Amino acid sequence: MKTSYIIFFMVLMLGIIGWFLIWPAVQDISQLSQSVNDWQSQLADAKAAKQGLAKLQGEFNRLKSKADQIDNALPSEKDLPDLLVQAEALASQSGLVLGSISFTSQQQPSLPPGTEAPEEAAPAKILQVTLSLDGNYTGLKNFLTALENNLRVSDVSSISFLGESSGTDTGKLNISFNVYFKS
């Protein structure tokens, strides 16, 4: 009988040890497992946010590139030296010789009656560029095509051609066009 008391006492001690020592450890492990799951969920959310951020970064870079193109097409000031270089380059690429160039500030055209300009957008200012060129009709066509494809926004307002002599297609060209800027 003594052995049965000893066995009962040992089982009881194991139960008490299990209740006070092992059960709290099991609960701690359960809490740690839940904490690990929470951290894994937060990690997955952070990875998804990182991917979203990378996508937004790519979109931002794409839009920034377009904004830079717009800034180049509509600069913030007249930038006369750049206009002079562009005019000379366009003329020489087209087979024309630039004789003279002049710049004239233009008044902003008024809006038709009953229309209002948007408050958030300042109207672009106009600079008229007049070029005196020497060349032929083909050069003129090439120049107009190059001007049309040029990055800076421009509108041709007048063209005149004065032939040198009969039988030749060379002569003096006068071209006036407007360029725009923000300032």
For the segment 117-175, what is each residue's pLDDT rounded down to a tens digit? Answer: 565 556 778 899 999 999 998 999 999 999 999 888 889 999 998 877 766 778 899 99
35 with 99, same domain?
no
Same domain, 98 and 172: yes
pLDDT reported for residue 161? 86
Residues 51 and 95 in one domain: no
Percent of the chain with pLDDT over 70: 90
What pLDDT is stored for residue 27 in this prediction?
A: 85
52 & 23 share domain: yes
Residue 112: predicted pLDDT: 64
Same domain? 157 vs 89: yes
Helix axis angle, 80-93 to 137-149, nearest 10°: 130
pLDDT tens digits for 42-61?
999 999 999 999 999 999 99
Say which residues have a Cβ less than 8 Å from residue 134's Cβ, sequence separation at least 6.
96, 97, 99, 170, 171, 172, 173
Domain that residue 99 falls in: 80-108+123-181
Contacts of 183 (CB under 8 A, 6+ apart): 76, 77, 78, 125
CA gap 178, 182 in Å, rounded: 14
Do 132 and 164 share a domain, yes or no?
yes
Query: Is residue 175 domain-resident?
Result: yes
In a domain? residue 94: yes
The answer to the question of residue 89 being in a domain is yes
Global confidence as pTM: 0.60
What's the number of domains the chain is made of?
A: 2
- Tell me: do 99 and 42 sit in the same domain: no
Q: How far apart are the first and last CA of the chain?
A: 108
User: 155 — phi, psi (to 5°)?
Assistant: -130, 125
H helical segments located in the chain:
2-17, 23-73, 80-93, 137-149
What is the CATH number for 172?
Answer: 3.30.70.60
Would 113 be classed as within a structural domain? no
pLDDT at 178: 92
Name the more confident of 39 and 121. Answer: 39
Does residue 173 fall inside a structural domain?
Answer: yes
